Structure 1
Amino acid sequence: MSVATPIVPLDLTASSVELTRMLCDIPSESGDEARIADAVEAALAHYPHLQVLRFGNTIAARTTLGRARRVAIAGHLDTVPINGNVPTRFETLSPEDAAADVAGTIPGEYLWGRGTVDMKAGVAVQLKLAAELVNPVVDLTWLWYENEETSAELNGLGLLAAAHPELFEADFAILGEPTMAQVEGGCNGSIRAEIYTHGRRAHSARAWAGVNAIHAAAPILARLAAHEPATVSVEGLDYREGLNAVGIRGGVAGNVIPDECAVHVNYRFAPDKPLEEAEAQLRAWFDGFEIDILDRSGAARPGLDAPLAQEFLRAVGGVAKPKYGWTDVARFSALGIPAVNYGPGDPQKAHADDERVRLDEITAVERGLRDWLTGEDAGATA
C-alpha cells in the first residue's frame, strides 16, 4: 500500500525572502513538480478571495471583483537539475568576492541555491501578493505552472491555455522571470535543430574504404564560426541574435569510421520576424544539408505600447530593456496579450551552480508590484 507524500507547508504570511527559501527547498526539477504544486494549492486554499483551479501540476488563482481590466501574472514552478545547490543558504558577498565573479555580481546579501533566480523568488513574491491583495485595482489571474525548463509541448502554461482558454482573457501579462527587478520587454525566439552528415562505415585501419561523416561536418562548423549575429532594433529595444552549435554527436566505436554525424544548433532570433521566417533563414544558412527541427518557439514583440504596460513601467521606474532569452511572454503575445518580464535575480546566474539572488531585488519586485496593483503609484488606475 502506497503512502501519500506529506504536503510541505508554505506560510504565505512570511516575508517574500523567507518564502523564496521555502520554495527553493522543495526540489522541483522539470517533471517532478507534484510536491511543490501540492504545497502551493494547499497554501492558497486559505484565501477565500481567490478562485483556485489545478490542472496537472499547474495552479491558477483568480480574483472576480468586476474590475474593468484584468492582468495575468505568471511564474514557473520547475527548475533545471539540482547539482549540490539545495538546500538553500543565506550568504554575504563581499566586494572582493563580487569583483572575482566573471558574471559581474554586485556585493550584498544573497540567498544561494537552485531556483533562487530561475524563478522561485519571482514565484514567492507572486504567492505573497496573491494571498494579501484582496482589493487590487485590476482583477488578477495568477498562474504557476510546470515544465517550463523542458520541451515546449510539455509546458504547463501552454497546456493550460489549450484546456482553459478562459483563464487567458487578460489585458496585460507579467512574467516573473529574472530581470534584476527591471522591466524587460518581449523576448527572442528560439529554434533548435540537428544538421546531419552521412558517410560509410569502415574499419579505422582501412579508413580509405569508408567515408567519415564527422569530417564531413567541418563545413557546418565553419559556417557557424563565421556567422556574425545581428542586433535588431524592435520598437526601440535592441535584441541580440545568436547562432551556435550546442552539441555534436557521432561515432560508432573507437575503431570504426562513423557513418553519421549530427550537429545540434540553436538559433535565437529577434522579434522582428515570425517563426516561419526564422526557420526559413536557418535552413538557408545550411542549404545542402539534411536538417531536423527539434523544437521551435516564436519570439514576442516588446508590448510596451499597451496602456497598462506604460502604466506599469511608470510605476516601477527605470528604462525598459530587451529580453534576450526565450520566455513565456511569447505565449501571451501569441494570444494577443501584451506581456513583459519583471522579476528578481540576475539572468546570468540562472541555471548556474552558484545560482543566487540578491535579497533587495526580491523586496524591490514585491514593492513595485504591490504599489502598482494597489494604486499606490500615480500611474495605476482601475
Structure 2
Amino acid sequence: MVASVLSPWASLPQATRGRRYAEAAAPTRTEHQRDRDRIVHSSAFRRLVYKTQVFVNHEGDLFRTRLTHSLEVAQLGRSIARPLGLNEDLVEAICLAHDLGHTPFGHAGQDELNACMQDFGGFEHNLQSLRVVDALEERYPQYDGLNLTFETREGILKHCSRANALKLEAQEPHGVAARFLTGQQTSLEGQLANLADAIAYNAHDVDDGVRSGLISLEQLQSVPLFAHFYTQTLAEYPQLAQPHAQRRLLYETIRRMLSAQVYDVIHTTRLHIAQAGVQHVDDVRACGQRLVRFSDAMQTQSQALKHFLFHHLYRHEQVMHTMDAARQMVRELFDAYMAQPSMMKPRFAWRAQQAASPAARARAVADFVAGMTDRYAAKEHVRITGQQLLPAAMN
C-alpha cells in the first residue's frame, strides 16, 4: 500500500533542526526540497558525470558514472521511502549528495589519496562529501558551503571514525557526528539512503560488468540472487535465450532482482519498526539497531553478490591495470602540488600557501585533488609530468 502522508517516525520537514546559518523559509518549498535543489545546482554534483564508478570514462560511453549512480540511488530511495511513509525529499537529497566527496578514479583514487594523507589526518570520501557541502562549495556571499539542513548533513555522513567524530563534535557540539560517539542511529531516511546505495551499485555493476565483457551470464549463475531471477525470466520468456536477446535477458533479470530487494526492504523495515515500537524520529535515533534493512535471507544473498563482484569484477586484471595507473596519477599529483602549490587553482593555491601547518597545506591539496574529474586529473598529470598513463581518449 502506498503511503499518502508521512509516518510519525519520519523526519518531518517542519520539524527540522535547521541550518548552521539561519535563513528565512522558502515560500514554495520545504527545507529538504531546498537542500535537494542546492545539491543539484552545485559544481560538485556536475563533476560527478566524469568521475569513475568502476570503468573510467574513456572505456565506454554507456558505463555508469558517479552521477548516474547517484541518480539511480535516489530513484531507489524514493521508491522505498513512499510506501514506508518517509520523507522522500530528504531521502533524495541525501542520495544525490552521498558521493560528492568522491575522488577521481573511484575507490583506487580514494585509497591512494588516503595513503598520501596518512600523516595529515587521512582521507575518507564520505567525510569529504560533508566537507564539500559544508565548506568547499562557493555559491553564496554569506557563508561557505551549501548550508544544508542538519538532517541532510547527518545522512551524508554515513561513516565516521571516532577520531574524526571528536574533531567534528568539537567544531559543532551535538551536531552531525554526535551519534558516532553516543551509539545512536541516524534517521530512517539516512538509513534508507545508505541501503539504497548498496542495492544500486550491486545491480548496475552487474550490468556494466557484463557489458564490458569482464564477467559473463554463465559466471553469474554461481550467484543465487541472480541465478534465481535469470532462471525465472527464461522460463517465462524462453525466446530470450537467443544470442541477439541477451541484453533483454540481462535487463529483465536485474529488474526482477532489484524489485525483490526493494520489496524485501519495505517488508522487513515495517516489521522492525513495529517490533521496536518507535513513534517518533527521536525513538529511531535512540534505537540500538538499524531499522531499515534486508531480511536475513536477502542480506546473505546480497553479500554473496557483492563478494562475486569484488573477486570477478573489481579485482579483474583489466580493472586493476587501470586503477594502478590511477593510483600513480593521484600520488604524483599530490606530491607535485605539495611541492609547488602555485600549480593548483588559485583558491586552493592560496589556502596551501597560507597554511599554518603541513597538515593544513596537505588538506588544501587533498581538497583540490579530490574535486577533480577523471579527465581533468589525467590532463593535469600529463601537464605536470609529461606522462600519459591512460589512453589519449581520456584527454
Structure 1-normalised TM-score? 0.25
Higher CA-based Rg: 1
Structure ranking higher in strand proportion = 1
Structure ranking higher in helix proportion = 2
